[in-house]
Structure 1
Amino acid sequence: MSAPRGSWREMVQWCDHLVLQRTGESAETWAERARDAGVLDEAALKEWMRERGIEGYAASAVHWRVVGYPASFLQDADELLEAQYADRPHLRPIADALLAWAEERGAQVQLRKTFASLMGRRKFAQVGASTKSAVDVHLRVARRLGGVVEVVRAQADDPFDQRIRLRSLEDLTDEVFAALEAARSESA
């Protein structure tokens, strides 16, 4: 069962819902109030919202309407994926195969500006062309997998500390898909 690919649009809608749920007013209403009050500076806007009990993701919904959306938030999933591989089209088939594998297993694919998140109950892998010659798959998996999976340096709180580097479709072996399945199983 394939889930539709997502982009930032879903998160924007979720943030809009949060501000409405928490305050009873829409993000656009709060943005109008901020503009009417002359609160346009990012730091002042953050403080203004905090004083009114609008924080976290709910505050993001208002912030984006006052300050503007990042360009990548306005692109759909296909546009984001196309942009990621525009200057490295030889790597796109690798990404397509990985995303298709995830979708065939019912994982949600969330496209971002520079990578795609593969999601079960939580994100279990991140796929992105981090170099001009390779697609990297960063995995969230508790145990060390070994083989084609290498341990990479990550920040202390970053659970994506194992990576598979793929340079061609021939690198997509059963071992790669077994590692992805191990990470997916842990996020189910």
Structure 2
Amino acid sequence: MKGLLPNNPIHALCLKLGVLGIGMFAFAIWVMPPIYDVFCEITGLNGKTGGPYQAVSAEVDTSRTITVQFVATNNEGMPWEFSPEVRTVKVHPGAQTRINYFANNRTDKDMIGQAIPSLVPFKAATYFHKTECFCFEQQPLKAGESAELPMYFIVDQDIPEHIHTITLSYTLFDVTERYADDKVAKVAN
């Protein structure tokens, strides 16, 4: 490697630092996201609630009540109206509950939305299970169209005693362009 480096020590240092910077960038882009996802899945951090859940027990703990709050926000540039039908429900651990979100495409063009969930407190993510959710799939709406988006969930009976309130937040993203690119790629193949 000695012959590949410039003779000037400053140029050699700049070259080494440039290669180091490119390596750090590549590590951050390609290696860190999968590691972060595994870390969040193991620890329950970032409030990721996972995919569809199959209930294993139908026991309902009527001695406890958990308050579940619902929040809906649009990502920057998403022009849809998006809101939960109710802001708060009280549930018994183990009981399946349905709530609806409402979406309205207020634009004059067909669009596709994707809702990304987050849950706090983060520890509750392990005990909050969605059996059916609009967030599992993209939501296409024609111009001016509205939709009722159902979500069924169960709060696990094993939820720690100190957790009394859970907040489920959805951020709605416009994925119209990404979907169009995927469609073009499928046609090209």
Pairwise same-fold verdict (TM > 0.5): no
Report 1 or 2 for greater relative contact order, CA contacts < 8 Å, sequence distance ≥ 6. 2
TM-score, normalising length: structure 2: 0.27
Higher strand share: 2
TM-score, normalising length: structure 1: 0.27
